Amino acid sequence: MAPKDFGRGEPDFSFPSQNTDVPHALTYLGGLGCKGGLYQYLVAWSYSEYYTHWGPSHPLPPLMAQLKTGEEAKVKPVNEFMFSYTYLNEKCKGKDSVRLMYIVKSALGNFDKRNGIRNSWGFESRFSDVEIRTVFLVGMNSPESNTQKQLEKEIEEHKDIIQADFIDSYFNNTIKTMMGLHWTYHFCHNVKYFMFVDDDYYVSTRNMLRFLRDPANYPQYLEKYIVTAVNEYREDLYAGYVFHDSSPIRWVFSKWYISLDEYPYSKWPPYVTAGAYVLSRKSLEELYFGSIYTNNFRFDDIFLGMAAKKAGIKPFHHKEFYFYRKLYDKEGFKTKVPTYIGGPRRNGPGRDLLARWGVLPLIVIGLCIKGLNPRPPMVGFLKKPRPRSPRLIR
């Protein structure tokens, strides 16, 4: 069954009438499969045969070149970021080179989580010899709401919020991601690496910086000298926990259900889980242009996988990136880069994060990372940390 329009998600399927001669059990299961959507697994278009792109078929490099020089592109972008910024900030202003910038995707009302990050792994002055920046991406609800008024106070105090006028909701995460790509491409030319991360993750900044020195051989190179062509991975980096061969969920009762009308192919393009991934400046530029030539999709990690395929970027999988809760063990967290810490919180979302930083007597994540001072960078909950200058790389 051939598709009518590649990349547009407009399949036209017809199905044979029900065979009434089959046993009742099979009839029941068949009916469940039809009503539950499982039949879609059988009739989806073959990804390997038919998928080429999720948008215009024109090659991306010449379009990038035209847009970078201010020319009118031969093919117009199909998915530009069209929302207006309510608040920008000047985190990238200046001539100083920034080694790493955290782009934290945060829900509008997650004030405690943002404070927890500012006072733990997102603290910008943790290393005296490395420039690090942290910003938070949020959407909007009603401009007159108490949440928005509280956010305005937060913006005035911390000056690290980027907000645009789209509704802040789960299925607008793709818009939030595009805002991050748009803002970093246009305003952050002095940043070498960008890490996009959700606000319910813990990141070891020390390990992230070590990872960026040699992504292909981390953490082995910490123990022995390894000769490698590291520039290939460092300059074209799009890394995280990669799914290379996953399929859409066709079960209609699932939160992540995808119909054939929305996506007709049997597999997803390779993609990095959206909770935590890192990009070099070069890859960020290519992914940005790939995104504006990729039709919108409501799952941000899938959308980025489509944009990466359009841009010819191969996602780099690394086992030290975790997208699920990782139980603490002393050896295991010596090399972990990010890990998910979401889920139920007995002490509130901000305290849950700081508990894993070492402030509260719960599971301690990251304190046994090699070379890390066993004392947390603050005395009490949400107290501003003092600048420190430990050696970054041994």
CA atoms within 13 A on the CB side of 195: 29
Residue 1 resides in a domain: no
- For residue 141, CA distances in Å to 87, 203, 368 come to 14, 29, 40
Round to whole Å and give the CA distance between 273 and 302.
8
Evaluate whether residue 392 is within a structural domain: no
The domain of 103 spans 85-357
**349: three-class secondary structure by DSSP:** helix
9-16 contacts, C-beta under 8 A, 24 or more apart: 9/261, 9/262, 9/263, 9/264, 9/295, 10/261, 10/264, 11/45, 11/260, 11/261, 11/264, 13/43, 13/260, 15/39, 15/43
What's the CA gap between 170 and 91, in Å, rounded? 26
Q: What is the pLDDT of residue 295?
A: 97
pLDDT value for 218: 87
pLDDT of the chain, 394 residues: tens digit per residue? 444 444 444 444 444 444 444 455 445 455 555 667 888 999 999 999 999 999 999 999 999 999 999 999 999 999 999 999 999 988 998 768 999 999 999 999 999 999 999 999 999 998 989 999 999 999 998 777 899 999 999 999 999 999 999 999 988 999 999 999 999 999 999 999 999 999 988 898 999 999 999 898 888 888 776 555 445 557 899 999 999 999 999 999 998 999 999 999 999 999 999 899 999 999 999 999 999 999 999 999 999 999 999 999 999 998 888 765 555 455 554 555 555 444 434 334 454 555 444 433 222 233 223 233 333 333 333 344 444 444 554 3
- pLDDT the model gives residue 220: 83
> Does 132 map to a domain?
yes
Residue 336: its pLDDT value, please? 52
Closest Cα to residue 43, out of 271, 306, 259? 259
pLDDT at 340: 47
**394 in any annotated domain:** no
Within 8 A by CB and 6+ apart from 391, the residues are 371
CATH value at residue 190: 3.90.550.10
Determine the pLDDT at residue 27: 56
The pLDDT of residue 149 is 92
Contact (Cβ atoms closer than 8 angstroms) between residue 99 and residue 139: no
Specify the number of domains making up the chain: 1
6 lies in some domain: no
Residue 145 CA to residue 143 CA, distance in Å, equals 6
Query: What is the reported pLDDT for 322?
Result: 75
Do 176 and 300 meet the contact criterion of CB atoms below 8 Å apart? yes
- Residue 64: inside a domain: no
- Tell me how crowded residue 140 is: count the other CB atoms within 10 A of its CB: 18
What is the rounded distance in angstroms from the CA atom of residue 131 to the CA atom of residue 351?
27
Report pLDDT for 132: 95
Does a structural domain hold residue 67? no
For residue 377, being part of any structural domain is answered with no
